[in-house]
Amino acid sequence: MEVWPGRLPPAPADLRVACREADGLLCLLTDRVDAELLDAAPRLRAVSVFAVGVDNVDLDAATRRGIQVGHTPGVLTETTADLAFALLLAAARRLGESERDVRAGCWPVWSPGAYLGEEVHGATLGIGGMGRIGSAVARRAAGFEIEVLHSSRSGGIALEELLERSDFASLHVPLNPETHGLIGEAELERMKPTAVLVNTARGELIDTDALVDALRGGAIAAAGLDVTDPEPLPAGHPLLTVDNAVITPHIGSASRRTRELMADMAVDNLLAALRGEPMPHLANPEVR
């Protein structure tokens, strides 16, 4: 077993070198496992991703080579739904902006118009993608007597209608060619000027430039983001300059219990494949 010693993930060239003699790879979603890496690792039989999403892996290339790709579905559903709802509340009630002001010594005299946010109780929540996490967010919304709309492959309403009707919109779809750039300028313009957009899925679902323009121009009221494009955001990025965005560093699964369970699942996937068995949580079941 060889463990990458650096605090930051390996550069693509370094990862290719590290995998040259490897039979299995346990990686993070920040590690790009593409055809070039797979060509450089002829012994590779298993790739286990410490994440639910596997958009960092070229699944077609892995499948053609007979390489099993594992992931960790289900285990982070409730934890990520908790964070999605936390971001919804924080963005709606301007917690990021007001907390920053307090730390900067700018505690204003109380006034009726200070830090006015959006009402959550009794609002309408649109959920894009009613899978495990989207459904868990909907359950949390019930306690606030929120009307829930959804748009997904399993039914619901059109995304355009969802955006027009929702006070809050939360994204929970996988990243693929069809969903890349799902929310752009046209979609943001459909939303209410008082609406809040939440994203705990993948940053590439949203056109970042369009989002910055919408936040600055008042097309929407606020955003709560656990994922961004690019990720991480470089210093001075325009998204970091808007007060009406609450941004966290991709911590949707960051509870002690969830991360421990993810680690167990990722290792179980890897060991099963190296024993010549199917992974318990296989992202490419068509592999031979």
What are the tens digits of pLDDT across the range 145-178?
A: 999 999 998 899 999 999 999 999 999 999 999 9
Q: What is the DSSP string of 102-167?
A: HHTT--PPP-TTTT-----TT-EEEEE--SHHHHHHHHHHHTTT-EEEEEETTEE--HHHHHHH-S
Question: Can you give the pLDDT at residue 8?
Answer: 87
Q: How far apart are the first and last CA of the chain?
A: 25
Domain 12-74+255-274 in CATH: superfamily? NAD(P)-binding Rossmann-like Domain (3.40.50.720)
Catalytic machinery residues: 202, 231, 250
Fold of 77-247: Rossmann fold (3.40.50)
Please state, rounded to an integer, the average pLDDT across all residues of the chain. 96
Output the pLDDT for position 107.
87
Judge whether 12-74+255-274 and 77-247 match in fold: yes
Name the CA radius of gyration of the chain, rounded.
21
Predicted confidence at residue 139, as pLDDT, reads 98
By C-alpha distance, which of 197, 179, 205, 226 is closest to 82?
A: 226
Residue ranges per domain, the chain? 12-74+255-274, 77-247
Contact predicate 44/255, CB 8 Å: no
Average pLDDT over residues 47-70: 96
What are the tens digits of pLDDT across the range 101-129?
999 999 888 899 999 999 999 999 999 99
